[in-house]
Amino acid sequence: MNDLWSECIRGLEPYTPGEQPAIPHLIKLNTNENPYPPSPVALAAIRQAANEDLRLYPDPEGRELKQVIADMHGLSPEHVFVGNGSDEILAHTFLALLKHRRPVLFPDISYSFYPVYCGLYGIECSAVPLDADLQVHIEDYLRPNGGVVLPNPNAPTGSVVGRGEMKRLLEGTDGSVVVVDEAYVDFGGETVIPLVADFPNLLVIQTLSKSRSLAGLRIGFAVGHPSLIDALNLVKSCFNSYPLDRLALKGAVAALRDQDYFDRTRKQVMASREWLAHELCSLGFYVLPSQANFLFARHELRDAATLQELLRERNILVRHFAKPRINQFLRISVGTDAQCQSLVDALREILATTYFADAVPNNAES
């Protein structure tokens, strides 16, 4: 049967998203969703838009949404692109701006969708190793390349690179595009959108899935020089004219305007993160400093996959990546205080009572 498949797709390795199981009373800390609901103003706007006008196509340009984003950053709508989640924007970006003779650079431990896009579009890439502490060093990217993709904060580590360092990267990168994936930036990172005016090769991608609690609505946006945005518009217009539905467009506009709710909930997540990091340390975890809405943590004695399994038996989901260098870490999304407390309680109970066949010191890279 596979004779019918296009030859170019036969060896593709797909991305595997975190589980979305429909189990009641689950404490779901595996896909970095926000523990707080979307802004009530956004929900009201969506309900209001669920009317007879749904028979009509949405605005293919998403002009109102682009204007709101442009206004937030003192830019024009020509600097803004919107898409069906930041994943769709990343896909268009790889094809439109990163397919060159030289390889695209991104960290070896990072969002695992990047190499998948390279496979899809036949783009050469080179994974740049994080250091032993899982940190990004800008000088590693200051070499000839076909583009640089840096998530900041990085995932799944939560580590950040400051704006000064980012500026150094941009100053040293000539003739290729630097994509900064700021999916998690609102939890303590520093956006580089203010650098867009100075660097025509900078594209910044953000999402409403995390800090705006709208993972279920699929909205991302990119900000960059109009020429970069033109390239994204061109590819989008060859792929799907109307990627954002009417409800997503209205919900996004309302969510972005509700700055108070946004500030309140993201600060609460940051406070819970600090509390959770402290508790995990007390339980014998090594926890990477994080400016995201998740923690990346390794227990000094216990195997990560086993811990994940035992948490799952207690209806708590966290994410484990069976990959070199990080297979002893768990990525734990920051929940409500009550969810964080339940996680800590469960871990304390597991660590105190469970027999581990593999209880050996776990502080070496594996």
Q: Contacts with a copy of itself in 251-280 (CB under 8 A)?
A: 251
Residues in contact with 143: Cβ distance below 8 Å, sequence separation at least 6, in sequence order: 105
Q: Which of 66, 77, 87, 339 binds a copy of itself (CB under 8 A)?
A: 87
* Nearer residue to a copy of itself within complex by CB, 87 or 303: 87
Could you tell me the CA-to-CA distances from 310 to 133, 228, 319 in Å, in that order?
27, 47, 12
CB of 47 to a copy of itself, least distance (A): 5
- What single DSSP character describes residue 240? -
Our CB check for a copy of itself shows the closer of 254 and 347 to be 254
Rg over alpha carbons for the chain, rounded to the nearest Å, is 21
Contact 45, 251 (CB under 8 A): yes
Secondary structure E strands in the chain: 27-29, 80-83, 104-107, 125-128, 148-151, 178-181, 202-207, 220-224, 285-287, 294-299, 316-318, 329-333
Site for a copy of itself in 91-110 (CB under 8 A): 91, 95-100
246: Cβ contacts below 8 Å, ≥ 6 apart = 49, 53, 54, 56, 58
Residue nearer to a copy of itself on the CB measure, 225 or 302 = 225
- Looking at the Cβ atoms of 116 and 280, the one nearer to a copy of itself is 116
Query: Which residues make beta-bridge pairs with 318?
Result: 29
Nearest distance in Å: CB 240, a copy of itself: 5
Sole binder of a copy of itself in the list 24, 25, 55, 357 (CB under 8 A): 55
- Per the DSSP assignment, residues forming a β-bridge with 29 are 318
Residues of this chain, 163-222, that bind a copy of itself according to CB under 8 A = 175-177, 200-201, 209, 213-218
100 or 168: CB nearest a copy of itself: 100
Residue 232 beta carbon to a copy of itself: minimum distance, rounded to whole angstroms: 10
Assess 351 for contact with a copy of itself (CB under 8 A): no
Residue 17: CB minimum distance to a copy of itself, A: 4
Q: Give the nearest distance from C-beta 280 to a copy of itself in angstroms.
A: 23
Q: Which of residues 25-44 bind a copy of itself (CB under 8 A)?
A: 28, 31, 33-38, 43
Q: How far is the CB of 301 from a copy of itself (least distance, A)?
A: 33
Total residues contacting a copy of itself by CB under 8 A comes to 87
Chain residues 217-256 in contact with a copy of itself, contact rule CB under 8 A: 217-218, 225, 227-228, 231, 233-235, 237-248, 251
Q: Which of 29, 75, 88, 179 binds a copy of itself (CB under 8 A)?
A: 88
Strands 148-151 and 202-207: unpaired
Q: Are 332 and 29 contacting, i.e. CB atoms less than 8 angstroms apart?
A: yes
| CA 240/CA 154 separation, integer angstroms | 30
Q: 144 Cβ partners below 8 Å, 6+ apart?
A: 102
**What string marks each residue from 120 to 149 as x (binds a copy of itself by CB under 8 A) or -?**
x-----------------------------
Residue with tokens 């929940």: 335
Question: Which residue of 23, 57, 74, 354 would you call a contact of a copy of itself, by CB under 8 A?
Answer: 57
Shortest distance (Å) from residue 194 CB to a copy of itself: 20
Asked if residue 361 lies in contact with residue 301, where contact means CB atoms within 8 angstroms, the answer is yes
Nearer to a copy of itself, 32 or 159 (CB): 32
Q: What angle do CA 100, 109, 358 make, to 5 degrees?
A: 150
The full length of the chain comes to 366
Select the span of 90-98, 185-193, 285-293, 345-353 touching a copy of itself (CB under 8 A). Answer: 90-98
Contacts of 322 (CB under 8 A, 6+ apart): 305
- Which region among 54-62, 126-134, 266-274, 292-300 touches a copy of itself (by CB under 8 A)? 54-62
> DSSP character for 7?
G
Judged by beta carbon, residue 162 or residue 216, the one nearer a copy of itself is 216
